[in-house]
């Protein structure tokens, strides 16, 4: 979130030049323990776990309701056009699953992020899942649970398509099946 509670340290890189380094994870964790105690390290964990569980259950349910078509293995015999169609079909199916599960789990992601970020401002507004739901609904309405959904979805979709197409082109042009 752009908050740096500790200054960077001066060090040297591989080439021997002086550079500034941000503190490591362990340094930040030690700082959080000093400020908030060990419980501060786990702030926002329960809504995050609930978000992941909801996403997993959603994906499993969707696979039952909308089973994927028989996915054939792409081989050297397939021409580029046919194998690319298969990749597009599989990626579209994965994208649908990702978008629906992200939309359902996003409110819990928002709660988790707000619980973690309040460390920066030393607030104590969001403490539990149920109380956070009440506060967000009271102050921002239903749309408050979906703040940042569009960039999150766009990031997921671009990453999914990028990875799957890159893997396809690497397998098609750089990897020999023999």
Q: Cα separation of 113 and 125, whole Å?
A: 12
Do 20 and 10 touch, CB atoms closer than 8 A?
Answer: yes
Residues of the chain with pLDDT under 70: 70-81, 177-178
Output the pTM of the full model.
Answer: 0.81
Tell me: the pLDDT tens digits for 150-170?
A: 999 999 999 999 999 999 989
**Which residues touch 117 (CB under 8 Å, ≥6 apart)?**
1
How many whole angstroms from its chain centre is CA 76?
34
pLDDT at residue number 80: 66
Residue 32: name the closest of 3, 56, 11 by CA.
3
pLDDT at residue number 78: 58
Do 122 and 3 touch, CB atoms closer than 8 A?
Answer: no
Q: Left if phi > 0, otherwise alpha if psi is -120 to 50, otherwise beta: which for 2?
A: left
pLDDT at residue number 143: 96
């Amino acid at each position: 979130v752009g908050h740096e509670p500790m200054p960077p340290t001066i060090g040297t890189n591989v080439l021997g030049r002086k550079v500034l380094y941000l503190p490591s994870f362990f340094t930040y964790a030690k700082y959080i323990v000093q400020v908030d105690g060990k419980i501060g390290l786990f702030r926002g964990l329960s809504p995050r776990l609930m978000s992941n569980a909801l996403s997993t259950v959603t994906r499993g349910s969707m696979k039952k309701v909308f089973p994927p078509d028989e996915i054939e293995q792409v081989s050297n015999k397939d021409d580029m056009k046919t194998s690319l169609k298969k990749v597009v079909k599989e990626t579209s199916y994965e994208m649908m699953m990702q978008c629906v599960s992200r939309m359902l789990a996003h409110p819990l992601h928002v709660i988790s992020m707000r619980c973690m970020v309040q460390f920066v401002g030393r607030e104590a507004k969001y403490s539990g899942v149920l109380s956070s739901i009440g506060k967000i609904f009271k102050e921002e309405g239903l749309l408050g649970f979906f703040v940042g959904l569009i960039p999150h979805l766009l990031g997921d979709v671009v990453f999914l398509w990028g990875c799957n197409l890159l893997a396809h082109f690497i397998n098609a042009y750089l990897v020999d099946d023999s």
